[in-house]
Amino acid sequence: MEISNLLAKECVICTNISSKKKVLELISRTAAIKTSDVTAQQFFEALINRERMGSTGIGNGIAIPHGKLDNLKAPIAVLIKCDHAIEFDAMDNKPVDILFALFVPTEDCQAHLSTLSQVAQLFGDKSITKKLRRAQDNEQLYQVINP
């Protein structure tokens, strides 16, 4: 699935949140807006359960928190840019300021892996991450992913 098709405008947020827990809560609340089948608490628990297995901080200030949910009917993505990098236990031990969260239905495992791979590849492009970091508001952030 194309990332630009997956990411709704209302799920792209610039924020000044400064903790891992708070940003995961924001991601969860934002994802819950897109469905009545899953609560913000359920999204949050999916993220926390995945983080317990190991940080989704992939390095270079980027994290890709993700989770699978039984009640979810379609994938949901959330893009967050933090004004100040936050501690995230990333692989390179550097703080994170860009988070792309992905939630998929439990039975949609193959699409989940494919999309995660696309996201990692996209954020491996330094020109994209520079543009994301320069974004001053939600609209500019959205336009980097969906020009």
Alpha helices in the chain (DSSP H): 3-6, 20-33, 40-53, 109-123, 126-134, 138-145
| pLDDT of 4 | 72
- Tell me the average pLDDT across 14-23: 96
pTM of the model: 0.93
Percent of the chain with pLDDT over 70: 96
| pLDDT of 14 | 98
Give the Cα separation of 42 and 59 in Å (integer).
Answer: 26
| pLDDT of 46 | 97
- Tell me the average pLDDT across 26-38: 96
Model pLDDT for residues 121-144, shown as the tens digit of each residue: 888 889 999 999 999 999 999 999
Rg (CA), the chain: 14
Domain boundaries, the chain: 12-145
Model pLDDT for residues 62-88, shown as the tens digit of each residue: 999 999 999 999 899 999 999 999 999
- Tell me the average pLDDT across 44-61: 95
Percent of the chain with pLDDT over 90: 78
Give the Cα separation of 64 and 47 in Å (integer).
Answer: 10
- CATH of the domain spanning 12-145, picked from 3.40.50.12780, 3.40.50.10420, 1.10.3720.10, 3.40.930.10: 3.40.930.10
- Residues annotated as part of the active site: 66
